[in-house]
């Protein structure tokens, strides 16, 4: 019999909102409130990005070396579940809780600003510390912020980073090395990312328009989402994960979608459920021509065209290393009875222009709902450069 882990708590800050209540309200009715035009990210160009809504906390003076927006966003998400974390510390001890997080850029925005200051003045600015932009600094900061002393490390596999963190944390728990884990991810806006995607010709001048015949690229976004993962059962469960690495190309997905398809099938096997039991699929859905063509084919081959799907990147932009965690947070909210008593689905925001070259999918419309048959399972896709593919299955048991 498959034994699931409980996801007893979740905290989030994103372009959809800050905190579970606000994010749920905005998510299910569809919003683009976080979309902003910025002139300071790509030289000579205004670029549309998706900024996280809401304030971030001031860090304690003792943690000043880690003071960057990336870590402040993480702190905002952690603060939302701090009482739950304190309860886990009381149950398990500070050395028995792991911190496994994903990111792709960490605090590189502060590194960019510091380097510009050094070029202009010959001196690094006061208060800048290289740990702010180290990839591993994310989990080190979280551990220090929470006062934990167990295993702590960061996953950096581009856009699958924070989805893969779930699998790593589960292995640590199943191996008996820890009893619980803080899992999730964060990425904040910087100059490097939109400039890089602009060089690839992958940034759209309009909000992301996934699976449309008019789609022309991504919107870069930022978010943080964290979860408390434990052996104890809870309403929302971590049911399964599928991970593949097809290594088709450094930046382009396999057009046949074979690695993506196998990741979904492995996640279903791991969860012990069939495709017909999945009530909703959160698509990776970047709105690039190649991703959406590949993903529509892979999802259609696994689920057909009856399972409701949507890409929430039309609301959040592509939050990169945080995408897996951010979209798992949306699954968590969709499954949580308190936050979604009407069984609503995140809508697919787009221009409605179907692309006849794509495999047909049932894209969720505003107001669509899932049927509660007792046990409910939902799947989320995260596909990264280099062919790193992850599918997560979250669910809830029958009441």
- Is 318 annotated as catalytic? yes
- Burial tier of 215 (Cβ tally within 10 Å: 0-12, 13-18, 19+): buried
- Is 159 annotated as catalytic? yes
What single DSSP character describes residue 218? Answer: B
Please choose, from the candidates 307, 298, 315, the residue with its C-alpha nearest in 3D space to the C-alpha of residue 382: 298
How far apart CA 370 and CA 217 sit, in angstroms, is 30
CA distances to 9, 75, 100, 182, 234 from 79, in Å = 11, 6, 17, 12, 20
Signed CA dihedral, 310, 391, 79, 72: sign only: negative
How far apart CA 13 and CA 73 sit, in angstroms, is 7
Q: Which single residue is written with the structure tokens 């930046």?
A: 251
SS (H, E, C) 22-87: HHHHHHHHCCCCCEEEEEEEECCEEEEEECCCCCCCCCCHHHHHHCCHHHHHHHHHHHHCHHHHHH
Residue from 284, 300, 339, 348 carrying the catalytic annotation: 284
Residue from 190, 273, 309, 318 carrying the catalytic annotation: 318
How far apart CA 26 and CA 318 sit, in angstroms, is 17
How far apart CA 244 and CA 67 sit, in angstroms, is 35
- Is 248 annotated as catalytic? no
The catalytic residues are 159, 284, 318
């Amino acid at each position: 019999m498959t034994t699931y882990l409980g996801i007893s708590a979740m905290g989030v800050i994103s372009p959809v909102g800050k905190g579970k209540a606000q994010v749920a309200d905005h998510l299910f009715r569809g919003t683009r409130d976080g979309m902003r035009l910025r002139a300071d990210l790509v030289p000579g160009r205004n670029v549309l990005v998706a900024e996280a809504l809401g304030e971030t906390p001031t860090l304690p003076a003792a943690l000043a070396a880690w003071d960057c927006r990336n870590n402040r966003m993480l702190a905002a998400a952690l603060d939302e579940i701090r009482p739950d974390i304190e309860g886990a510390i009381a149950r398990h001890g500070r050395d028995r809780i792991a911190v496994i997080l994903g990111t792709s850029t960490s605090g590189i925005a502060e590194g960019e600003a510091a380097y510009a200051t050094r070029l202009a003045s010959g001196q690094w600015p006061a208060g800048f510390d290289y740990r702010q932009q180290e990839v591993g600094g994310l989990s080190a900061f979280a551990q220090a912020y929470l006062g934990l002393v167990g295993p702590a490390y960061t996953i950096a596999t581009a856009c699958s980073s924070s989805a893969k963190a779930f699998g790593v944390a589960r292995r640590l728990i199943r191996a008996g090395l820890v009893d619980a884990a803080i899992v999730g991810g964060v990425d904040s806006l910087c100059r490097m990312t939109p400039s890089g995607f602009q060089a690839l010709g992958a940034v759209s001048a309009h909000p992301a328009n996934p699976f449309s015949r008019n789609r022309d690229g991504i919107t870069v976004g930022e978010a943080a989402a964290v979860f408390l993962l434990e052996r104890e059962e809870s309403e929302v469960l971590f049911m399964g994960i599928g991970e593949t690495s097809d290594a088709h190309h450094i930046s382009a997905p396999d057009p046949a979608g074979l690695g993506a398809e196998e990741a979904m099938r492995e996640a279903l096997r791991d969860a012990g459920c069939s495709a017909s039991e999945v009530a909703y699929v959160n698509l990776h859905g970047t709105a690039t021509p190649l991703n959406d063509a590949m993903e529509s084919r892979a999802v259609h081959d696994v689920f057909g065209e009856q399972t409701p799907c949507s890409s929430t990147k039309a609301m959040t932009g592509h939050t990169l290393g945080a995408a897996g965690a951010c979209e798992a947070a949306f699954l968590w909210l969709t499954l949580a009875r308190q936050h979604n008593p009407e069984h609503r689905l995140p809508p697919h925001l787009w221009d409605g222009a179907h692309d006849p070259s794509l495999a047909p999918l049932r894209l969720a419309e505003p107001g669509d709902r899932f049927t509660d048959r007792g046990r409910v399972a939902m799947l989320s896709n995260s596909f990264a450069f280099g062919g790193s593919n992850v599918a997560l299955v979250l669910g809830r048991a029958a009441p």
